[in-house]
Structure 1
């Protein structure tokens, strides 16, 4: 992995003027460094889109403030000379032009689920906050049975497996996502349902609604 290129992309898209990368350490599988009060960790992402032939590398970067619900996830795709910053809604909408062609619908759903399941997704740059640096900011529900096993305090009837259908000019995709977060004394989840339309050269558009909000567990984990 070319960590210099990853850090350069973050300096261009994420860091504010005057912020400096300090105490950087690189390994083949990760790069870590500090920026102010945040500890950054960059690793190759296990997203499905990383398997696409046109993607040279997919990188997940977590900026951890070491406070509850204050670990920010950033997503980068490297393709030739291009760097796609997935926290920009404009970028991920453009990526949706390729749905059903060289972007698999479930791979696209996975990106939206992780990076766009938070409450605020209308900014120029979306900041998805995870419960801790060890948690994902959002997760795609692939299998309702697996969802029921992991989130046993949530009604499993709320969710369904992803569904992909041909649309008039591209692809229509429906799926569910879950966002896990910590409260003062407990942990909780939001469950969302998404409808995405894109492909056929048309930028993706989406709508989402909450199936459940702040469903608290009886005790806190994390």
Structure 2
């Protein structure tokens, strides 16, 4: 991970107007700094897409702008071999990325990105701003295993979800999966979403999603 390259991308895509870096610290796999009262933490992401041959590395940026619950925002940056940087919160960029489905992009890797960065309301703006409960939580999560989901969220009926499914339909890759978004309402709360994504075969991705359940709360 090249710290200066990562910081330049954050300044370009994530910074708010007037922000300037203060008290920066670099590690081999992370860069953290303050910009005014905002705290930025950028680390090598553990996303599946980081294993694709054309990807140099992926970075997850978490920005804490207040000490309030649900006010930690996640951004995704993808650094490709050759110098290109993809801003994954940009809807048009994510749709174009979907052209690579089942060519040089694992469908589950794509589902993982949508789950983490697009499981919030709304996602119809040019740039999606996914918020997490705290800086220690993900903004969204792909449901990979029903038993693991039940263990993580025991107050939620696991029958609501299923494992991801991938198939081909009319020359495109069709991906169906579930994601969830954890947040705090005073209690612990979870939204569960069902997705249908189509892309690949030279086509940008399109997606539909619906809320299977909203604000499932637990003490």
Which residue number corresponds to residue 103 of structure 1?
105
Displacement of 1:81 in angstroms is: 1.2
The answer as to whether partners of 1:139 and 1:178 remain within 8 angstroms in 2 is yes
Q: In the alignment, does 2:26 pair up with 1:29?
A: no
Task: Tell me the alpha carbon deviations over residues 168-208 of structure 1, each in whole angstroms, 9 at most, x when there is no partner.
Answer: 12200000001000012x11000000000000010000000
Q: Which runs of 5+ in 1 are unaligned?
A: none
SS of 1:103's equivalent?
coil
Displacement of 1:29 in angstroms is: 2.1
My pick for the range that moved more, 35-44 or 112-121, is 35-44
My pick for the range that moved more, 14-23 or 134-143, is 14-23
Which residue number corresponds to residue 20 of structure 2?
20
Task: Tell me the alpha carbon deviations over residues 95-115 of structure 1, each in whole angstroms, 9 at most, x when there is no partner.
Answer: 000101101000000000000
SS of 2:110's equivalent?
helix
Q: Which runs of 5+ in 2 are unaligned?
A: none
Displacement of 1:155 in angstroms is: 0.6
Aligned length: 217
For residues 16 and 33 of structure 2, what CA distance do their matches in structure 1 show?
A: 16
Which residue number corresponds to residue 188 of structure 1?
189
SS of 1:56's equivalent?
strand
Which residue number corresponds to residue 43 of structure 1?
43
Q: Which segments of structure 1 move beyond 3 Å, counting only runs of 4 or more?
A: none
Displacement of 1:120 in angstroms is: 1.0
Q: CA RMSD in A?
A: 0.8
For residues 16 and 145 of structure 1, what CA distance do their matches in structure 2 show?
A: 40
SS of 1:100's equivalent?
coil
Displacement of 1:123 in angstroms is: 1.1
Displacement of 1:75 in angstroms is: 0.3
